[in-house]
Each structure stands twice: as C-alpha cells, then as structure tokens.
Amino acid sequence: MHDVCAVFFTAIGLLVGLDRELVAIVTLSLRVSLAAVGLAALLGLPLGAAVAVWRFPGQAAVGVLLNAMMGLPPVVVGLTVYLLLSRAGPLGELGLLFTPTAMVLAQCVLVTPIIAAFTRQTIADLYAEYAEQLRSLGVGPGRAIWTLLWDGRFSLLTGILAGFGRASAEVGAVLIVGGNIHRVTRVMTTTIALETSKGNLALALALGVILMFLVLVVNAAAMVIQDIAKRLYG
C-alpha cells in the first residue's frame, strides 16, 4: 500500500513540478506516436477502403492478411526497420537510424495494418448500405472510396485511436530503431523500461501512470468529438 501511494505521489510530483526532462520525454513520445498515426492513417484509410470496395481476385486473402498483420510483434518490426536503415541497409544512406524519424517509421509499420483492417471492416459495412445507390448515381469505385471514407469519418476515428494506443504503448520497435538515447530518442515507454531495469520501480510506475493518463485524455477527446458528430450528423 505504501508503495502504491509512493508511486502516485511521485507521478503527481512529476506532473506538478513539470520536470523539464519529463516534459521533453512526454513531448517526444506524443510527437513520434502522433506522427506515426498520422502517416499510418494516410496510408491505412485509403488502403482499407480500397480493399473493401474494389472487387479483385484475392480480396478476401488480403483482408485476412491485414487482420493478421495487426498482431505484428513490435520487436520484429523494429529489427526489420533497423536492418533497412542501418549503414549497410538499403536506406542506410539516409542516416535515419537512432533518430525520431526512424521511430516514426517503425511505429507507422505497426499501426498501418490496424487502421487498414479497421477501415476495411467499417467501409465494407457502409458499402453494403451504399452500393446500390452509388451504382445508380454512376459513381465508380475510385470516387466511392472517398465518399465512404468521408461518410464513415467518425466511425473510422475508433480505428485511428486503436492505432494510437498501439503506437504509444509499444516499446520494442522504438527501442531498437531509436536506441533510447538520452534527450534524443528517449520516450515514455523506453524510459519506463530503463528505469525498471535500474530498479527505480516507483519512478517507472509513475511514468506509466502519466502515459496512461495521456492515452486516456486523447481517447476522451476523440469520444467527445464522435458524440457531438453523431448528434449533429445522425
């Protein structure tokens, strides 16, 4: 009980004191995860919608593949991106390894399948309702995809949030490609891992509390937006 109290006091102390190092870590975490989710949304939304709308051989198989890729192990993704970005790798010239950009890329690889799979399901359901009307209006698959994405925008937010949850919570990929370098690539999750291994359990747990609080705030904001939208647009 005493330990639990200590954790919360540490967390509150860190938050109230606005420790500069903590602020930097939190900011980088948010920047990396939000950038990764933004990029993944740009890729995953059209990809998922295209798989839902376009009729092509192997459509079902692609759907299964997208679903399966939601379970990609972060360390494997981290390692793959590491190999791509390492000096000897095909993208080594860019010098991105151990930078926040590399972390964004790794998280993007993790999050894109989540957003795409969720989008595929949402858009497929919506398309079942819209297909006949759209065909009657002479709307081709290309325009149908954008129409459905726009009309499903508030439902799709849930998939994007799931992606954000995955990005902000994972540690394996950013640890490998970022290297957990002090003041450069250190984010919340890698700090928690580091502090745990150093035995600073209270500090590690306090950071965990803050991380969960941040995720909660982002989700609550999205929920409010969705709620207002539902009331306005039905």
Partner 1 sequence: MLSAKPSVCTEVRPTILPLTVHQLSFEAGGKRLLDSISFQTDVGPRTVVLGPNGAGKSLLLRLCHGLLQPSAGAITWAGVDAQTAGRCQAMVLQRPVLLRRSAVANVRYVLRTRGVPRRQRRAMVTAALEQAGLLHLAQRSARVLSGGEQQRLALARAWALKPQVLFLDEPTASLDPAATRAVETLLQEIHQAGTKIIMTTHDLGQARRLADEVLFLHRGRLVEHAPASAFFLAPRSPEAAAFLEGRLLWC
Q: Which residues are near partner 1 by CB under 8 A? A: 129-130, 132-133, 135-139, 143, 147, 150-152, 232-234
Q: Which is nearer to partner 1, 75 or 124 (CB)?
A: 124
Report in angstroms how near the CB of residue 150 gets to partner 1 at its nearest: 8
- Residue 186 CA to residue 88 CA, distance in Å, equals 24
Q: Which is nearer to partner 1, 56 or 233 (CB)?
A: 233
Q: Which is nearer to partner 1, 149 or 202 (CB)?
A: 149
Q: Which is nearer to partner 1, 147 or 191 (CB)?
A: 147
Contacts of 127 (CB under 8 A, 6+ apart): 52, 53, 144, 148
- Residue 215 CA to residue 226 CA, distance in Å, equals 17
Sign of the CA dihedral 23, 25, 27, 29?
negative
Nearest by Cα to 29 from 218, 226, 160? 218
Report in angstroms how near the CB of residue 129 gets to partner 1 at its nearest: 6
Report in angstroms how near the CB of residue 225 gets to partner 1 at its nearest: 15
Task: Report DSSP letters for 118-182, one per residue.
Answer: HHHHHHHHHHHHHHHHHHHTT--HHHHHHHHHHHTHHHHHHHHHHHHHHHHH--HHHHHHHTT-T
Report in angstroms how near the CB of residue 151 gets to partner 1 at its nearest: 4
Residue matched to tokens 């092509």: 56
SS3 call for 221: helix
Q: Which is nearer to partner 1, 100 or 152 (CB)?
A: 152
Q: Which is nearer to partner 1, 144 or 202 (CB)?
A: 144
Report in angstroms how near the CB of residue 130 gets to partner 1 at its nearest: 6
Q: What is the DSSP letter of 94?
A: G
Report in angstroms how near the CB of residue 131 gets to partner 1 at its nearest: 9
Nearest by Cα to 79 from 102, 112, 111? 102
